[in-house]
Structure 1
Amino acid sequence: MTRSTLHEGWRLRAVGGPVPDTLAGRDVPARVPGSTHLDLLAAGLIADPYLDRNEADLTWMHRVDWRYTTEFQAAGPGAGERVELVFDGIDTVGAVAVNGHLLGETANMHRSYRFDVREALREGRNELTVTLGSALAHAERAEARLGWRQRAYPHPYNAIRKMACSFGWDWGPDLQTAGIWKPVRLVRWDTARLTRVHPLVTVDADGTGRVEVHLTVDRATDRDYTAMVTVGDHTERMPVPGDTARLTVLVPDARLWWPVGYGGQPRYELTVTLLADGEPVDVDRRRIGFRTIAVDTEPDGDGTPFTFVVNGTRVFAKGANWIPDDHLLTRVTPARLARRIDQAVGANMNMLRVWGGGIYETDDFYDACDERGVLVWQDFPFSCAFYAEEEPLRGEVEAEARENVTRLVARPSLVLWNGNNENLPAYTDWAGWRESLDGRSWGLGYYTGLLPGLLATLDPTRPYAPGSPYSPGDLPPNDAQHGTRHEWDVWNMLDYTHYRDEIPRFCAEFGFQGPPTWATLTRWIRDRPLTPTAPAFLLHQKAHDGNGKLDRGLAPHLPVPDDFEQWHWATQLNQARAVAFGVEHFRSWWPRTAGALVWQLNDCWPVTSWAAVDSDERPKPLYYALRHAFAPRLLTVQPREGRPILVAVNDHDQPWTGTVHGTRQSLTGDILAASTLPLAVAPRSVALLDLTDDLLTPADPGGEVLVAAVGGVRVVHQFVEDREFAYHPTPCTAEVTPVTGGYRVDVRATSYVRDLALLVDKVAPDAVVDDMLVSLLAGETHTFTVATTATLADPAALRQHRVLRSANAAARAG
């Protein structure tokens, strides 16, 4: 068997639709894998769609048809030889031809295509063309045939199997990409090939790892075929008399794969070899991990839990939702994905939810999660819309689900299949949506019939949920006491303190907006002056009334500044505060609440959004707040029965013991009250500690803080909001020292300073600080380490007011 990639020599031409004069009749060099936007950008024919207001200038591309063309040399088909053209992914509506012979058509971005090319292939030079029609026009035609169905955004993304957010979202651009977005190759064989390798990986009760491999063979000749399966140093063989076979390999005392923070991530090499007359003719290799996975949904006294159980251990899911890491997908490299997953782990996360408005992620993504112990909750690609269940859409849904379940079935990191994002509450709760159907199908048959039916056969090894949010039976899908919940009243309507109104069993989405880092913002948005209402800034704010919600969310806590740079810091700080407030509330209710997945980890372009890491890969203040709030050991002050108490969260395999030292003190460090509390928190548990009255009764609520600390873990609690607090305007001093790889910034507090941050990207675009949102009591010091390749002409810039920020300054910036 030979496999030859066909990635060279491609040309792109616009062949239909509103083609600009500058492009008409013109061939452009093209990259495969790639996209039309990237090809035109490389040729200098369009401006960068992420810059300023350029996105709005490219709407003509929505309705253009494109043709990719290349030539390749090949030998003609031999007698009995199979020759196939394989596309791992086409975006989206395509017609594939070789030498003018139409091989087939495509209409699904989420699956691969394989074409028999024997009749079209000739000796020597061959021409391959892929003609791509407008996805928008295709979706409109499909909608006209299948009937209009409600969706959250204007374009009919629900009528085509394409990344939904390609048509725009409340954090993403409306670019509607097109291209050959995954590899393409010519495959030749004349004996047999493995058409499907389907390993089901489980662990027996006695600790034996079990790998049950289902395989399908496509034969070109009748030979004596044998399948050989090797897991580590354990091998089994069996004849393959027909087109299918099933082999089981047992691995005694298998080493278990664990989530990060719970153990290691050992993996085993799995090799499946097809032999003909004893000689190998095809091989499939992958790495697997042994672990058990379940979700506890057994009703209890509080409702219906939703608790992940890995290897028999109950896990609090600390994590975030994941969207495509670049809207122009082919720019997302394995190295970029590894950096992003490392950032998730660096923020003490153990789970990412691959959200249903994006894609089934690439193997590189799951490789990174497997290696690092990051649990993956995988949505099927349905989001915020009703979907027709009739053909041809139904057949495409089934084809993509079969392919991707088979592709991902052996991934140890993948712990949940989820039917959709928010389509169930759209039907039950969203005003006018159900009524708009007028009897038409809306997707329920996918979530309760087709998908679980496929999984029962293709992947019985892991749990499935019909949707997110989801509550069992006839309960409202977003019921806080049952199953999973999305909390969006906070941000849309309510102040973030209202996170405490509900105690969800598992919060799969919640979040608060903030702008990107300063370097990212000013690189991509060049309005002068920069204001929240400047045209380009507004184009990069996709949420309905987003800036209004930012200001209304800020006002109860901090003044809303008139100066843009101060507003930028204040809204970033408020985003960090809001989400950390929610995380700490949810964690304090473990095991009743069993998960907190923040919306969202990452961005796909430069935008004001809910992300913790912006599109230029820079961590926002929110990122550091999540690192603190998701720390393995956490102290937080929470209300219980009308009284503040101290909650100690121990997400660790070892007990947490010691003495809590509590003080109430002035901003200058005078101790006004003190007490000690014994601490003993079992592994993976939460303890509630009563605080003495003298710690909780300040004489001057705006000038005192409550401090509780044990073993290097501390909480500083204020009795009033920042805007009512008597912050000292200049509460600290700082010194900057050059060190290898960057700079050291030593800060000394002369008065209480809250949420110290170094916005180092303002000084050097590549600079990263090791921590942020650090609070110091009077007399305390802290050292920040700044990593950068830049040599600063004036290192003192790192302690300038616009770089060294705090809540003290924000509270006085009105």
Structure 2
Amino acid sequence: MFYNPFKYLLVFLCLLACCQNKPNQYIQVIDEHWTFKDVKGVGWLPATVPGSVHTDLINNKIIEDPFYRINEDTLQWIDKKDWEYRKTFTVPKDVLKKEQIQLHFEGLDTYANVYLNDSLVLKADNMFLGWQVPCKPLLKEGVNVLRIVLESPVKVGLKKRKRLGYELPNAVNDQSEKGGLGKKQVAVFSRKPGYHFGWDWGPRLVTSGIWKKIKVVAWDKAKLTDVFINQKKLSETEASLIAEIEIKASKDFDATIEISIDSTRKINKEVTLKKGINNLKIPITIHKPELWWTNGLGNQKLYKITTILKENNAIIDTVSKTIGLRTIKVIQEKDDVGKSFYFELNGVPVFMKGANYIPQDVFLNRVSKEDYERIIKAAVESNFNMIRVWGGGIYEKDIFYDLCDRYGMLVWQDFMFACAMYPGNDAFLDNVKKEAAYNVKRLRQHPSIALWCGDNEILTAWNNWGWIDQVTESQGEAVKDSVWKAYEAVFHDILPNTIKKYDRDRLYWSSSPSSGFGTLDSLTAGDYHYWKVWSNKEPFSKYNEVIPRFMSEYGFQSFPEFESVKKYTEEQDWDIYSEVMKSHQRSSVGNENIEYYMLKSYNKPKDFESFLYVGQLLQAKGITTAIEAHRRNMPYCMGSLYWQLNDCWPAASWSSIDYYGNWKALQYSVKEAFKPISVVPFQKDDSIEIYVVSDALKNQNAILRLKVLDFNGETLFKEEQIISVKSNSSALYFSKDVFDILEKKLLAKSLIHVELIGEGNIEIDDKVFYFKEPKDLKLTKPNINFDCTKKDINTFEVTLNSNVLAKNIFLKSNVKGRFSQNFMDVLPSKNYKISFHSEGKDITIDAFKNSLKITSLFDSF
């Protein structure tokens, strides 16, 4: 037989590429050359792991893009089938000599029967869990076969539903009728993301798949199975930590634990390990610690602490943890009106600015590292300091929390329960216990985790949405008691006890919204969700009246921009009431509400594209009103998290960044409204008030300059004063009757321009305020002039001005990238400089300039 050395070299290089070996360990990632098929089918097709059935069907051209037009409707058969994935992999002879060999499954979606060489080794039933399976007796030298059969989550859910014997109330986000199930909703029976079954901003695409990595892990003697660096005390001079180390040993032996801090200082401890699980605690002291702060308040110092297990100076295993040193508390103290609710970071009360976050795609494998980086950087640039990971999605991937650590973004972390009552049988509760312990231990090391919350809106739904009466009247008192008992078992027993055991220094908040453990929401304590603006068609002005201690949800919808809409529609669909546009709007009152509110504030747009543009202005107007009200009322109110930051598919929704990553008008407005020091004009009855809100930790002197201008730029009134901006506060600095500064007949063609000028004549902030709704303003056609210069290979600067007020200018370019500002007002005869960062290849100045289009509100009617 002909000997081909290159063949064996290729095999060796392939093995090397998929193995990530530590000292004493062998790690092989099993991620290439998978195949899949319908269990009842015959033909195997190429598959991508990590991935999902839907994306594999797309890649093999079996189905069309589920997000295009109404393709989703024709793809509901996928979740009714069982699917099988298959992979062969090679295990070298020397690996089989290792004392311990395991298969690590980091994430299986969801009901997975795993076979190794035709032997069943695992029956997984929770998408939020990782699984470790001993497999040494079943492995063979050379080729091995791994087979994973994924049972239909719908079929399994239907069986569990029938077995329960009674109906569980829910908010009907499970779009069971679209899935062909009638009223038989099954989402709550499976520990997988609720939004996969549909939500009022997302499609119904119930996935199955291998959504995280699979590894073969082999080792001798011992393995570091858990390392937690527990912060015990923190002061300016010293941080006292405890390294809580779990080691699994296959035999008794003497060993050394070496701990290094930032690869410099080392701690050594001699230990005697016993066969089985060993738990050790080793104290660590860091002198003159550098603290971790949120975005805008300081640096995000991260210490790298590496734990090394040795025997006779030979390394057996290593684990590195990145930690941040900070104290985080939720302060709830009684006061004259109720009880405070605010986050105290390193002893400083901090107003929380941010949004609710959902998974970035229905198909989780499509979210890249670059996507995570882009969304967290957008939050940072928009002056966020908190993101709420909402309970109907996933416990996010490690990279999400790593980025939050790096950029100073605190995380309000929900457990994955939302808007429904859940089963209370032993199997379900045991599954929840494992899920909670696994994810708390996985995430507790991150300095970004600020709070653990049991559920989203379940407590308030049970008590205020008619669920108690619904269950009692249709199924009786006994069923009602069983449903509530199941709630208490999860949210008042399992979850708080998990936090107490594994992360006792962080607050467990049982339900959002609420005013305390098991206590309904209130404006005078706890956190609050306010939806009467939108759901009840209350005016935006209600945001100025409904002020809670911490607003953790509120929102208003808009459509994506026209260029985004064109990606999932055809020209015949360009009407908000077309079949396709309604399909990409999952709120039952969505398009109608947008139009209702729009015509209250704006003239009717002239065409479809203009409607989308004005809809974004409307959303920005509403949410900015709320943010300014919340910040203006600090310290009574100490948080503003709007719904929602992002999308999981292209649709009309409450997002401020659309599915394709484009910033809506809202995101630009939020960036301004969340500035560290912000000027907030406000009309209270017939008085104009100017507040200055500051997150800064020091007072600073500034000039507050106010002008009343007509739309041609003529100054009608001006006043200037030197002020001391108070640290970490909101204060009123100017108040005057409207008609002391402007005649009534000029209200529709005048504005207030407020500037806050700091040291060195540097503008800290400026705001424009109007006396009338946009539809009542006497706008004239602006003549907008612009010029462009190239600053570097990917950055352009646009300088523009206008002869008259140009309201809400919208800059567009077909070059992929983003403007630093957009949708803002351009005042007469003032120059504005806006940067544009291109994401693509080198673009010439002429090409960019020719691609640029600028419109304003005047052009939309």
Same fold (TM over 0.5): yes
Partners in 2 of 1:12 and 1:702 — Cα distance?
65
Q: In structure 1, what is the Cα distance between the partners aligned to 2:683 and 2:348?
A: 29
Of 573, 580, 586, the residue aligned with 2:630 is: 586
Does residue 780 of the first structure (1) align with residue 830 of the second (2)?
A: yes
Confirm whether residue 440 of structure 1 aligns to residue 459 of structure 2: no
Partner of 2:466: 431
Task: Verify: 1:721 aligned to 2:748, yes or no.
Answer: no
Do structure 1's residue 89 and structure 2's residue 116 form an aligned pair?
Answer: no
The correspondence for 1:148, drawn from 167, 173, 197, is 167
What secondary structure is seen at the aligned counterpart in 1 of 2:300? coil
How far has the Cα of 1:189 moved from its partner? 1.7
Match of 1:20 in 2: none
In the alignment, structure 1 residue 546 sits paired with structure 2 residue 597:
no
Could you report, residue by residue, the CA deviation over 1:661-685 in whole angstroms, capped at 9, with x for unpaired residues?
2232322223323323342221111
Greater CA drift, 251-260 or 135-144? 135-144
**Cα distance in 1 for residues equivalent to 2:231 and 2:86:** 42
2:445 to 405, 410, 422: 410
Q: Specify the alignment match of 1:354 in structure 2.
A: 389
Q: Secondary structure at the match of 1:690?
A: strand
Aligned to 2:9: none
Structure 1 residues 481 and 128, CA, compared in 2 at 3 Å: closer, same or farther? same
For the residue of structure 1 that corresponds to 2:825, the secondary structure is: strand
- Residue 660 (1) aligns with residue 660 (2): no
Q: Counterpart of 2:808 in structure 1: which amino acid?
A: D
Q: 1:219 to 1:251 in 2, by over 3 A?
A: same
For residues 348-747 of structure 1, what are the structure 2 equivalents within 5 Å? Answer: 348-433=383-468, 435-436=470-471, 438-441=480-483, 442-472=486-516, 475-477=519-521, 479-493=522-536, 494-561=538-605, 563-639=607-683, 643-693=687-737, 694-695=740-741, 698-711=744-757, 712=763, 713-728=765-780, 730-737=781-788, 739=790, 741=794, 744-747=797-800
- Using the aligned pairs only, state the percent identity: 29
User: How far apart in 1 are the matches of 2:518 and 2:441?
Assistant: 32
Q: TM-score, length-normalised on structure 1?
A: 0.94
Q: Which amino acid aligns with 2:827?
A: L
Of 203, 211, 223, 1:181 maps to 211
| Rounded Cα–Cα distance in structure 1 between residues aligned with 2:518 and 2:495 | 20
Deviation at 1:754, TM superposition (A): 2.4
Residue pair 2:806, 2:826 contacting (<8 A) in 1 also: yes
- 8 Å Cα contact 1:675/1:692 also seen in 2: no
User: What CA deviation, in whole Å up to 9, does each residue of 1:244-270 have, x standing for no partner?
Assistant: 212221112211111111111111111
Cα 1:206/1:265, change in 2 over 3 Å: closer
Q: Deviations over 1:508-533 (max 9, x none)?
A: 11111111122221112224251112
Contact 1:157 1:164 in 2 (8 A): yes
Q: Does 1:227 align with 2:221?
A: no
SS of 2:210's partner is coil
Indicate the SS of the match to 1:571: helix
3-state SS of 1:469 partner: coil
Higher helix residue share: 2
Q: Give distance in 2, aligned partners of 1:4 and 1:14.
A: 27
Residues 793 and 64 of structure 1: CA distance in aligned 2, closer, same or farther (over 3 Å): farther
1:246-265 alignment, distance < 5 Å: 246-265=281-300
Structure 1 position 378, deviation (Å) = 0.8
In structure 2, the CA distance between the partners of 1:42 and 1:205, relative to structure 1 (3 Å rule), is: same
Change (3 A) 1:94 1:70: same
State whether residues 511 and 518 of structure 2, in contact with CA within 8 Å, keep that contact through their aligned partners in structure 1.
no
Quickly say closer, same or farther: Cα 1:742–1:363, change in 2 above 3 A.
Answer: closer
CA-to-aligned-CA distance 1:721-767 (integer Å, 9 cap, x gap):
11111111x12322343635465543322222322221x1xx40514
- Contact persistence 1:317–1:596 (CA under 8 A): yes
SS of the equivalent of 2:801 reads: strand
What are the Cα deviations for residues 51-70 of structure 1, in whole angstroms up to 9, with x where unaligned? Answer: 12111111001111000001
Asked if residue 123 in structure 1 is aligned to residue 141 in structure 2, the reply is yes
Conservation of the 8 A alpha-carbon contact between 2:102 and 2:218: yes
Q: Does the CA-based 8 Å contact 1:348-1:630 persist in structure 2?
A: yes
- Any conservation in 1 of the 2:492–2:510 contact (CA below 8 Å)? yes
Residues 96 and 136, structure 2, Cα contact 8 Å, conserved in 1: no
* Equivalence for 2:271: 239
Structure 2 residue identity aligned to 1:702: A
Cα distance in 2 for residues equivalent to 1:357 and 1:546: 20
Q: Evaluate the alpha carbon distance shift between residue 420 and residue 434 of structure 1 in structure 2; reply closer, same or farther with a 3 A threshold.
A: farther
Q: Deviation per CA, 1:427-467: give whole Å up to 9, x if none.
A: 11112356425222342332222111111120122222112
Distance 2:609 2:683 in 1: 35
Q: Summarize the Cα distance change of 1:161–1:475 in structure 2 as closer, same or farther, 3 Å threshold.
A: closer
State the SS of the aligned residue for 2:163.
helix
* Alpha-carbon contact 1:326-1:603 (below 8 Å) kept: yes
Matches of residues 131-146 of structure 1 in structure 2 within 5 Å? 131-146=149-164
Partner of 2:130: 112
Tell me the SS of whatever aligns to 1:739: strand
Please tell me whether residue 196 in structure 1 is matched to residue 238 in structure 2.
no
Q: CA deviation at 1:657?
A: 2.3
Aligned-pair Cα RMSD in Å: 2.1
Q: Matches of 2:299 and 2:193 in 1, distance apart?
A: 34
After TM superposition, give the deviation of residue 78 of structure 1 in Å.
4.8
Any conservation in 1 of the 2:96–2:139 contact (CA below 8 Å)? no
Quote how far apart the aligned CAs of 1:652 are: 1.8
CA contact (8 A) 1:698 1:704 kept: no
Once the 2 structures are TM-superposed, how far is the Cα of residue 128 of structure 1 from its aligned partner? 0.6
Structure 1: runs of 5 or more not aligned: 17-23
- The residue type equivalent to 1:735 in the other structure is F
Instruction: State yes or no: 1:214 paired with 2:244.
Output: yes
Q: Assess if the C-alpha contact under 8 Å between 1:170 and 1:542 holds in 2.
A: yes
Distance 1:421 1:156 in 2: 18
Secondary structure in structure 2 of the residue aligned to 1:444: helix
The equivalent residue for 2:178 is: none
Match of 2:29 in 1: 5
Q: 1:428 to 1:797 in 2, by over 3 A?
A: farther
Query: Secondary structure at 1:407's aligned position in 2?
Result: helix
Name the CA shift for 1:804/1:725 in 2 (closer, same or farther; >3 Å). same
CA distance in 1, matches of 2:252, 2:707: 82
The one-letter amino acid paired with 1:786 is F
> How many residue pairs end up in the alignment?
796
CA distance in 2, matches of 1:596, 1:288: 27
1:749 aligns with 2:777: no
Moved more, 740-749 or 419-428: 740-749
Q: Deviations over 1:623-648 (max 9, x none)?
A: 10110111112111225577331111
1:332 paired residue among 348, 362, 367? 367
SS state at 1:443 partner: helix
Distance in 2 between residues matched to 1:249 and 1:744, nearest whole Å: 50
Q: Letter of the aligned partner of 1:447 in structure 2?
A: F
Which stretch shows the higher mean deviation, 619-628 or 651-660?
A: 651-660
Native 8 Å contact 2:679 2:690 kept in 1:
yes
1:593-632 Cα shifts (integer Å, max 9, x gaps): 1011111111111111111111111111111011011111
